[in-house]
Amino acid sequence: MSELLIKNGFVFDPLQGIKGDRMDIGIKDGKIVETSALENPKTIDAAGMTVMAGGVDIHSHVVGPKVNIGRLFRPEDKLFKSPHKSPTCSRMEMGSSVPSTFKTGYDYARMGYVFVNEAAMPPLHSPHVHEEIRDTPIIDNAAMPVFGNNWFTLEYLKNNEIENNAAYTAWLLRATRGFGIKVVNPGGSEAWGWGLNCVHIHDPVPYFDITPARIIKGLIETNEHLGLPHSMHLHCNNLGNPGNYTDTLESLRLAEGYTPKNNFGREQVMHVTHLQFHAYGGDSWGNVESRSKDIMDYVNAHDNITVDMGQVTLDETTTMTADGPFEHHLRALNNLKWANVDVELETAAGVVPYIYSPKVKVCTIQWAVGLELALFSKDLMRTFVTTDHPNAGPFTRYPQVITWLMSRAARDETMKTFKWLDRTIESTSIDSIDRELTLYEIAQMTRAGPAKALGISNIYGGLAPGMDADVAVYPLNPEDMPSDPAAIEKAFARCAWLVKDGVVTVKDGEIVAEPAKRTIWVDVKVPDNAQVQRDIYEHFLRHYSVKLDNYSLFEEHLHNPRVIEVNAAQ
Amino acid sequence: MSKKVENVGCPYCGVCCDDLVVTVSDDGKKILEVENACAIGNQIFHHATGGERVRLPRLRQPDGTYKDISYDEAIDYAANVLYKAKKPLIYGFGSTNCEGMAAAAKVAEKAGAVLDNCASICHGSSFLAMFDNGYPSCTLGETKNRADVIVYWGANPAHAHPRHMSRYSIFPRGFFTGKGHKSRKIIVVDPRHTDTAQVADIYLQVQQGHDYELFDAFRAVVRGHEIPDVVAGIRREQIVEVADILKKARFGTIFYGMGLCHSDGRNHNVDIAISLTRDLNDFTKWTIMAMRGHYNITGPGAVWSWQYGYPYCLDLTKRDIAHMNPGETSSIDLAMRDEVDAFINIGTDAGAHFPIDAVKHLRKHPWITIDPNICMASEISDLHIPVGIVGVEVPGIVYRMDNVPIQYRKVIDPPEGVISDEEVFERIHKRLCELEAEEVAKEPVKAAPEGVRVGE
Amino acid sequence: MQHNEVIRSMKTVTLTLTNPSELLLEGQSITPDNFAGKKAAEIATLDVWEGKQKGPLGKYFTVAGDGGATAADTRIILRGDCTRVKRIGQQMTAGEIIIEGNADMYIGGWMKGGKIHVKGNVDSFCGIGMEGGELIVDGNAKHHVGASPRGEWRGMKGGLIRVAGSVGNDTATFINGGTIIIGGDADIHVSTHGEGGTVVIKGDARGRVGGQMVKGDIYVYGTIENPLPGFKMVGEVEQEVDGETALFAHYIGDLGERHPISRGKTVYANLYTRI
Ligand code: SF4
Ligand SMILES: [Zn+2]
């Protein structure tokens, strides 16, 4: 069948420790193969270019109800802001900060990405999530159901019933065709059901007699009990507030003493997402300052934790999170329109437009905090590029983020536009950091690292024979890197080639094919658990507004699945 | 032996009851009994197998009569109409599944059509309010489990959404509301003393068309300001009393209906209701929800938002960018202004619901109706394409009024040979692609620029 | 006068609608910015749309005269019945457009500068999203005069809209700056969600004047049929408005809405009704 040879590129594959060697990559029937296995391949000339595995995004909000509210309630995010349809794409591409599903797929592909993990799926809405996944072309998707405010979880963990919680978790992953355990503002979004919050990890959750700390630990235990590919994935309490770094450190410490148990090569027990929003000192917006050093010192010293940046890109964007109380708080700061959806027994969500302006001191401090986290990192296999799309900025700005990381000059250029430059420098360390990341480190942060943390590094994130033939070729010559940082950004925005599943999908930055995408989910076998079955039956009988039999995703609404099987029955 | 199908969704109103039990005859062709549904829901199922169904597309003849034609011929006719028109309009989707809506969007984008749904003539004003002010809402189960104060404003669920009060709002016992009705305060605001007002603890007879003023008064009082003695026909003392109840609620939901979003000022009435909900969240927890009418009228808003970013009134005529501006790109406005030159009526009855002048304008041009049944629209059409009934004969995803997706089941087979909306649109799409390819083959140079019809 | 000198140096392009479209026309290319530097024949090739059908402007209009060197040097005169021509002058930054009769929707939409003078009536959405310049309508305008586009909280930012006749509903929604002067009456909703700018209604207003308004000024010379409960009278003031001085009752509001605090004082929107 179809064979491809990507010739003479500079290959960066951290999973195999390949650091820019000039190599050929062989592809046959959608998989990477030894070049010797090819008979009569078509050739892609990658001479003078950078070759990496297809990008892997560990945390992005791309499909589902709150993303869609973000689209629906922001017509002004489209008017005069949408590109004209590309003649090579089958569908229109509308939107900017919250793109349509089609634009999402196309833009990720143009940047050389092939896998995107939807960061928060409200379980009740899983059919919606899967409908949007169907309409997101090219890229493979997984979606993490949220557990941190789920009544079953709260009840089981209150009594330390890890086995029951594990059985429920396995059931919910199957019911929603979900990927892993997402935790958003544990306890806080349940409290939001009453207009309240859990700001600190020892604040009790109203009526549930449990604390966020206990929820976090219990979910780590559940995750390792099941041996899921990914770890517990945490959005900490007290997001976005001055002084919150102490809460973050306390949350990180909860992982101490836990070791990963899984067959997927994952080495962390806790992934902490959009760390930028959680690394602030000071006690008011007047004296807010960066505490990224304290946070990263801790992360650097504890290898059972991975993190992603949540980099602020200084754009007008749309914030959206299952952290309902945070969005309510934010709407009081900027007085803009506010959407909220509390989801029965499970979670909440809020959506508010937001403008990160280089003229606003807090925004430029946030910008510095995000970059510092990566630049202070001693292990970029555990520190990933994200913008918490679209919260700190749209994912389409990854090329700019990469450029800031790779170029001090690019950072200086941006800082020149700051109105409060001196105050920003005073309150952060950014100006004292000269570090410029290498292409190898960028490959760690954008494919190898996230794939490993997600427990899918046997399929995605690398170029070893047997893995999916997802290969991105960027028009960047590592031996002759451009002096103009804008050229780096341009190269990462539009790859020269993207091969997805062995199909040439992007050429010269344009989509040329739309190969079938996949839905990745995790199916865990657990022992039969009569009590959990009874609890599920009871809650559906009394408290849900839909019938149990209509809640689990029907097989016909799951599109092109790729199941990862886990046996936790023994 | 008859068989029972359980957990069936009701394809009638936005309450989307999914607990129906339908008994089907031996041969799987007839519906014998429907349990748990209200009277309207019950009727929908019996209606499906009650009378004679149209089994083939029907094309209007020069003498005014209808002639049966094949699906292939009908698809070809529809594709040609869409292809030739300068500004076709595809409208409806009150009663079909999301799969059909997604397929229709594909057709509209390919054909360069305006794509709109029934929200355009009912809850479109809710969308306008959401654009301007957001939507602090929740799922219906939240209301059931937590709410101690319920407001129905300009809504009469007793008639329009029969099981709404018993399933979600007034009567059910939820997790934190174990006492059911007894633990809840019910406030009804409506110019008419409706059947819903009968069950209210407090009824405010707002003066017709002055809801906005009443909301303004509530907001002023909530912020501690003085208001006039009487606003919108309601005495100040009563406004103050109700405002106090709203502020002291533990969890409240405002359900509003067409009485609010269809009286003077429309979207602004909803907009200020949202403002009040926002304000109340500074004190306690409040949510608001539109009482969407049909079982899946929330669906097109969801599907087209993820596909284009706009829930309704999508002008796709440029084919490279979508444009939306209700007041311009809304079906009635387009029809009244005589701006469209072909019309597809799908899953609704524009013949019955549109103003007569709009119908007259539309009738000047080709009119195609896609609907399982004979309706006013089908009888004034040039072409009627029958389809299976979603929720009875065709399964699929629908969105309840609170945006919760419900997976609907198939209970019986459609009449032999009858296909689904989704299949009709997929086939029209395929035919459109063929027409385009034929044209490119014929006149490769002229066909090049997007949007230019060769020979015109 | 300097003003006249400027006008004399302008070049004039006259468009006469001789072959009207069947359904409608979208004429966003009809702006001094697009005509500048073009000969009549080139102008005739600019795109206009009738639904999905893109055609050259010259298919519908006869074009006489060339554009000036820049937008500021270009004047466009539209003749014939443009009742169904939308988007004339959209996003223009300079120059002048004179419409001899009626025009359709979006006239002067998102306008940044220059001047449009419509001698007849316009439909809805004229001056929507306006940032600067002048839009003069001798007749009536329908709805959404000087309003913000859907969902946009940054509404009219600057410029002047003057409608001699009456207007429909939703005038100046989300207005942030600039001035709108209506010679006749206004239907419901004036300056809803406003956060700046000035609206003057010289006739009557039906109601919902200043609802959900944060900041900004409204003057109503006639009566307000249904005043809002969120406005409170605070006194009488003499003010000069549009060249005349008069005595007004001064109200502040919308008391139901949030209001910023500036130098220790709460800033309200002002509503003045003529006494
Ligand atoms: S309330 Fe509505 S959805 Fe429920 S059975 Fe009646 S008609 Fe059907
Ligand atoms: Zn996130």
Q: Is the peptide bond before A14 cis (omega within 30 degrees of 0)?
A: no
User: CA geometry: angle at A176 spanning A175 and A182, to 5°?
Assistant: 120
* pLDDT, position A357: 98
* pLDDT, position B444: 59
* pLDDT, position B112: 98
Q: Considering the domain boundaries, does residue B355 fall inside one?
A: yes
| Residues B306, B238 share a domain | no
| Residues B330, B393 share a domain | yes
At B450, which amino acid appears? E
How many angstroms does the Cα of residue B129 sit away from the middle of ligand 2?
27
Containing structural domain, residue B20: 3-49
| Residues B237, B109 share a domain | no
Calculate the alpha carbon distances from A449 to A69, A311, A444 in Å.
31, 17, 5
User: Nearest C-alpha of chain C: how many angstroms from B443?
Assistant: 17
What CATH number does residue B175 fall under? 3.40.228.10
**CA-closest residue to ligand 1 atom 8:** B41
| Residues B225, B147 share a domain | yes
Average pLDDT for C187-201: 98
Q: Ligand nearest A182 Cα, by number?
A: 2
Which chains does chain A touch, 3 or more C-beta pairs < 8 A?
B, C
Total-model pTM: 0.97
pLDDT at A102 over 60: yes
List, in sequence order, every residue forming a beta bridge with C12; answer none if it has no partner: C75
C-alpha span between C11 and C34 (Å, rounded): 14
| Residues B329, B241 share a domain | no
Report the b/e string of B226-259 with b at 16+ CB within 10 A: ebeeebbebebeebeebbebbbebbbbbbbbbbb
| Residues B200, B117 share a domain | no
Superfamily of domain A53-454: Metal-dependent hydrolases (3.20.20.140)
Cβ pairs B/C, distance under 8 A:
125
The dihedral region occupied by B221, where left means phi > 0, alpha psi between -120 and 50, and beta the remainder, is alpha
Does residue C49 contact residue B450 with C-beta atoms inside 8 Å? no
Does residue A231 contact residue A271 with C-beta atoms inside 8 Å? yes
Please tell me if the CB atom of residue B40 comes closer than 6 angstroms to any atom of ligand 1: yes
* pLDDT, position A280: 98
| Residues B178, B161 share a domain | yes
Q: Closest to A73 (Cβ–Cβ): which among C110, C149, C151?
A: C151
Which of B290, B310, B342 is the last residue in one of the domains?
B290
* pLDDT, position A457: 98
| Residues B238, B158 share a domain | yes
Containing H/E element for A302?
Answer: none
Task: Determine the 3-state secondary structure of A372 from DSSP.
Answer: helix
Q: Considering the domain boundaries, does residue B302 fall inside one?
A: yes
Start-end of H helices in B256-323: 258-261, 267-280, 298-308
Closest ligand 1 atom to residue B13 Cα is 2
Give the residue from B136, B53, B353 showing the smallest Cα distance to A193. B136
| Residues B265, B181 share a domain | yes
| Residues B330, B415 share a domain | yes
Q: Considering the domain boundaries, does residue B451 fall inside one?
A: no
Low-confidence residues of chain B: pLDDT under 70: 444-456
Q: Which residue of A has its CA nearest to C91?
A: A80
Does residue B126 contact residue B270 with C-beta atoms inside 8 Å? yes
Chain C residues in contact with B318 by the CB 8 A cut-off are 49, 52
Q: Where are the domains of chain A?
A: 53-454
Q: Closest to B220 (Cβ–Cβ): which among C53, C153, C230?
A: C230
Chain C residues in contact with B453 by the CB 8 A cut-off are 53
A138-147, A506-515, B446-455, C26-35: the lowest-pLDDT one: B446-455
How high is the ipTM of this complex?
A: 0.97
User: CA geometry: angle at C39 spanning C36 and C41, to 5°?
Assistant: 130
Q: Which residue of C has its CA nearest to A71?
A: C151
What CATH number does residue B301 fall under? 3.40.50.740
pLDDT at A567 over 80: yes
C-alpha span between C201 and C171 (Å, rounded): 10
Report the domain count for chain B.
3
| Residues B130, B95 share a domain | no
| Strand A42-45 versus strand A50-53 pairing type | unpaired
Closest ligand 1 atom to residue B164 Cα is 1
Cβ neighbours of residue B88 under 8 Å, at least 6 residues apart? Answer: B81, B82, B111, B112, B113, B114, B340, B341, B342, B343, B344
Among all chains, which residue has been given the structure tokens 């939306």?
B324
How many angstroms does the Cα of residue A236 sit away from the middle of ligand 2?
11
C-alpha span between A120 and A69 (Å, rounded): 14
Give tens-digit pLDDT for A522-535. 999 999 999 999 99
Q: Considering the domain boundaries, does residue B78 fall inside one?
A: yes
Q: Considering the domain boundaries, does residue B448 fall inside one?
A: no
* pLDDT, position C2: 47
| Residues B367, B315 share a domain | yes
Q: Considering the domain boundaries, does residue B375 fall inside one?
A: yes
Q: Considering the domain boundaries, does residue B452 fall inside one?
A: no
* pLDDT, position C100: 98
Start-end of H helices in B257-355: 258-261, 267-280, 298-308, 331-336, 350-353
For chain C, what is the mean pLDDT?
96
Which chains does chain B touch, 3 or more C-beta pairs < 8 A?
A, C
